[in-house]
Amino acid sequence: MDHHCPWLGGKCVGHRTYPSFFHFITCITLFSAYVTYLAGTAFWWSLNNPTSVLDEVTPLHELFLSCAGVIFGLVVGSFMVYHIYLISTNQTTLESLSPFLLLRFLPPLPSSLRLSDPPIEHELSYTQRRLVRNAHRTIKLYDLGWQENWAQVFGWRKPGGWIPRILYGGASL
């Protein structure tokens, strides 16, 4: 499981639903840019042609609509850019946010130390925690290179397998 998304009807985003989720946030970002462009050009036209405007409140509506488009575009667009990074490095949201998931891949500890296996975060010293956080920035366990990562997420290995993923965000099989 990657994360829980209330925007998709309260569903969990995982291996099978991640392409749909990415398609969703991409479409929201593009639609926000489109709304911003249309409302912005209408607002600009209203300012340049004040005698042609039918209602005096219309430019205000166009301004608010373009501002809402900018806000949605920036918020969801930055979220989309973050998920582009996650896909390119083949990480889930949970792997990216918690460096201590690397602890389960450490070699076994000597029997003289009595830590859980794998060690839990509070059992580590400050220096050990800092080392784990620094290692998390450079170690990407499942990274195969950006092209293979995108192929793995969207199922591009099959001939024409990318078509349903692009058109309607189908599941990665």
> Active-site residues: which are they?
5
Residue 66: both structure tokens together: 């373009």
Q: How many C-beta atoms surround the C-beta of residue 86 within 10 A?
A: 19
Q: DSSP assignment, residue 107?
A: P
Cα 173 to Cα 160: distance, rounded to the nearest angstrom: 13
Q: DSSP assignment, residue 173?
A: -
* 10 CB-contact burial (10 Å; exposed 0-12 / middle 13-18 / buried 19+): exposed
Give the DSSP letter string of 2-41. Answer: -EEEGGGTSEEE-TTTHHHHHHHHHHHHHHHHHHHHHHHH
- 3-state SS of 72-103 is HHHHHHHHHHHHHHHHHHCCCHHHHHCHHHHH
